[in-house]
Amino acid sequence: MSSNLDVAMAVARRSLRHAFTNPALLVPSIVFPVFFLIAFAGGLSKVSQVPGFDFASGYTAFQFVFVFLQSAAFGGIFTGFGIAADWESGFVRRLFIASPRRTGMLLGYVIAAIGRWLASSAVIWIGALLAGMQVGGDGVEITGLIGLGLLVNAAATMWGAGLSMRAKSMQAAPAMQIPVFLILFLAPVYVPLRLLKGWIHDVAGWNPLTAILDAGRGFIGGSPDHSGLAFACAAGLFGLLVLWAVTGLRRAERGE
């Protein structure tokens, strides 16, 4: 356990230092979520007048939850980019030689992803509150929202790590992003699930992110609903993607 933690902290420190001193890595993870918040909450605010839209905390809070969870997912994806870059530079191969416990590497990347996301999410919170977002949830409920974000962030990191360990190249970057975009935008992004029609309603109904979004919106609105299902979906995704990442790590160790 001590060896795992030592490796994890060394990897996390190195990844965070690299991220916070490299504007090309830091700026997009902050700017993109803020842009989406402005575009969705500001440009689409008239959607709140659609008959049947009755989210008490308003459209800014409704969209904030999506942007908040989106930033969590892409915080993990940007960390995946960093892992792929570490393969290309030869750093991961050196880690294999120096690390007695290889799984500590994955833990370190998760810690780094969480650190990066907490920085960007703080900016999103400040921007949303300055824009007048209404928060109906109490401290426990907001903690629940943050907990969902942490699970989404860690799951996305494991997705990026598993793909990076298999591809060992930045050419894997599009493959990291596209599935995450799909699962995000095939959820009830602009209106609640009950207002969606046709095939998008059916797809969103099976999308695990729908339960996570609904619970997050309930948390910020002060009326949590189906939070157990949301945490089960988030934890299930994380568990499956941990398996994906660990098997990718084992394949990389064997040189496959």
In the prediction, which pLDDT does 132 show?
Answer: 84
Residues 82-103 pLDDT 10s: 899 888 888 888 888 777 677 8
* pLDDT, mean of residues 50-58: 83
3-state helix, strand, coil in the chain (%, to 5): 80, 0, 20
Domain assignments of the chain as residue spans, ordered by start: 2-253
Residues 146-178 pLDDT 10s: 999 999 999 999 999 999 999 888 888 899 999
Q: Model pTM greater than 0.85?
A: yes
Q: Which residues contact 24 (CB under 8 A, 6 or more apart)?
A: none
Looking at every residue in the chain, the average pLDDT score rounds to 88
Residues 98-133 pLDDT 10s: 776 778 889 999 999 999 999 899 999 998 898 888
